[in-house]
Amino acid sequence: MKFEDLLMQPTEEKQKRAHLEEEVDKLEGELDRELKLNKILQCALQGPVQSCPCLSPVLPLQVQGLLAELAAVEEEITLLERKVDELKLSLYRERQQTQLGEGLQLLELQPQLSKEKRKHLLGREAERMEFRKFGSPTRLQSYSDYRNHRTSKERREFLRSSKDIRSMSLTMSNGYITESSRSLENSLLEEEISSEKPNVLSEELIKCLIGIYIKLNQDTLGFDDSISSYGPYKNFIQITSNSLATNCISECYTAMKKLRFLMHKLCNVDLTFLTYQQKLAFWINIYNASIMHAYLQHGLPSTHEKLLTLMNKAAINVGGIVLNALAIEHFILRHPSDSVHSPTDEKETLVRHAYGLKYPEPNVTFALCRGSWSSPALRVYTGDEVVNELWRARQEYLEASVGVTSKKKIMVPKLLQWHMRDFADDMESLLEWIYSQLPQSASVKGLVGECLKSETKFPVTKKVEIQPYASEFRYLVPM
């Protein structure tokens, strides 16, 4: 071989290497575009197109056109569904007015009756209407049987007000759901209050409860050195069992009075015409409010089992139907397959038909706050910005709860392991998802990336350490 050939050989190898590296970069870029395209198409298949992330530059023009057409069709379907609901509501109100007229005619024929007697007759007429509505499901043979059935039910005052709703007519055996009936007077009251926007009401309810907890919190600083790593939550106040002075509840008289007023208005809300985003924000707020209210009613649980018991007691009346926190989470906010109950369960079917969301939103995992140490921070969610608010809640929760140990193991919170199927197929893909969702500014992102890229003879799952769920009481509330 000539001396000149020996000099040329390293140069050719460098050129080949550079060419190969260029090809690898090109293929990686194509793979990244394909993954993004797959993500947005999966999003379009699983939920409404309007809620898909904005990745239009990645999509081919033909696909963009198809998604635009699909969004238009979805909007048209939503409008048609609203019109159908309006017609149903009009029909219902027309029937109600007709039945009310019948009751008033009865009173006109007896003008000499006292106020008490007139009210009694109105109540009897309301019960007859209720019997016609619910007589078949309860399998009662006659109106007199129905009256005996109602009077034998245990009555519980949920709201201390002169216009509390009537006792529940249909009580589910497992304590998840009770369906309330209303008298004619309460029906008229509902017409008066139904103009209240449900989302505004749910936001005011959460704000009122946050104000009560902050007033009862004796730790004005909110944080100590033990949680200095919670950078994303630096603008939140921490409330723990040690700082919460429940014996000072009497000092919150004005706020508690407002709380009862808001809870009473909640009994009469109409969710019929809310959009998907508005329902999503509403039910997240109601879930969090039900648990916050339960703590004030029943005290702080000392164990995880008692926390679950508290969630079963955390009941709230929404539009005449009483639901507890577990029913709201599993029957309304989460997908049926995530529920531990049978999808054909009658009570679940009833709630899903009345209030359920058409599309599940996995990011509620980062919004549902049980008031425990392992729960996400508490926020007020709005109908207009709920998608962005959930996105921010997800980023901040991941940054605050994911870490790397000295043994180069990635710490994954138990909450993510419970709901892993909402975000990934297995633990390996979950770790990759976590890395992709961590903000670029988070220092933990680089550490997680190093763990994923490091060569080892063990599988990636061996690099994981699951953090146990800490049920000890704690709220992180916005200042």
Q: Locate 377 and state its tokens.
A: 């921070």
Higher pLDDT, 276 or 41: 276
Least confident range from 243-252, 343-352, 372-381, 435-444: namely: 343-352
What's the rounded Cα separation, in Å, for the pair 392 and 378?
12
pLDDT tens readout for residues 243-288: 998 788 888 889 999 999 999 999 999 998 899 999 999 999 999 9
Q: Could you say which of 355, 376, 392 is where a domain stops?
A: 392
DSSP state of 353: H
Q: What is the pLDDT of residue 160?
A: 34
pLDDT tens readout for residues 134-177: 433 333 344 444 444 444 443 333 333 333 333 333 333 344 44
Of 299, 304, 351, 315, which is closest to residue 330 (Cα–Cα)? 351
Q: Is 344 part of a structural domain of the chain?
A: yes
Kindly state whether residues 327 and 406 are assigned to the same domain: no
Kindly state whether residues 360 and 401 are assigned to the same domain: no
- Rounded percentage of the chain residues whose pLDDT exceeds 70: 67
pLDDT tens readout for residues 20-38: 888 888 888 888 777 877 7
Domains in the chain, number: 2
Kindly state whether residues 194 and 341 are assigned to the same domain: yes
Q: What is the pLDDT of residue 225?
A: 39
What's the rounded Cα separation, in Å, for the pair 416 and 423?
9
Kindly state whether residues 422 and 388 are assigned to the same domain: no
Q: How many CB atoms lie within 10 A of CB 99?
A: 17
Kindly state whether residues 333 and 209 are assigned to the same domain: yes
- HSE-CB at 103 with a 13 A cutoff on CA atoms is 22
Kindly state whether residues 228 and 271 are assigned to the same domain: yes
Higher pLDDT, 218 or 86: 218
Q: What is the pLDDT of residue 59?
A: 66
Instruction: Estimate to the nearest angstrom the gap between the alpha carbon of 193 and the chain centroid.
Output: 24
| Close Cβ partners of 212 (under 8 Å, ≥ 6 residues apart) | 252, 255, 256, 259, 296
Residue that the structure tokens 């018991």 belong to = 309
- Per the CB < 8 A criterion, the answer to whether 348 and 339 are in contact is yes
Q: Could you say which of 364, 392, 420 is where a domain stops?
A: 392
Number of residues that this document lists for the chain: 479
Of 391, 200, 385, 387, which is closest to residue 282 (Cα–Cα)? 200
Q: Is 55 part of a structural domain of the chain?
A: no
Q: What is the pLDDT of residue 152?
A: 40
What's the rounded Cα separation, in Å, for the pair 39 and 41?
6
Q: Could you say which of 392, 419, 444 is where a domain stops?
A: 392
pLDDT tens readout for residues 409-461: 999 999 999 999 999 989 989 999 999 999 888 889 999 988 888 766 677 77
pTM attached to this predicted model: 0.61
Q: How many CB atoms lie within 10 A of CB 110?
A: 10
Could you list the residue range(s) of the whole structural domain that residue 439 is in? 394-474
Residue that the structure tokens 């063990």 belong to = 458
What's the rounded Cα separation, in Å, for the pair 459 and 467?
19
Kindly state whether residues 228 and 369 are assigned to the same domain: yes
What's the rounded Cα separation, in Å, for the pair 270 and 195?
8
Q: Is 67 part of a structural domain of the chain?
A: no
Query: Furthest-apart CA pair in the chain: how many Å?
Result: 127
Element (H, E) at 467: strand 464-467
Kindly state whether residues 385 and 450 are assigned to the same domain: no
Q: Is 252 part of a structural domain of the chain?
A: yes
- Per the CB < 8 A criterion, the answer to whether 126 and 182 are in contact is yes
Kindly state whether residues 288 and 411 are assigned to the same domain: no
Q: Is 290 part of a structural domain of the chain?
A: yes
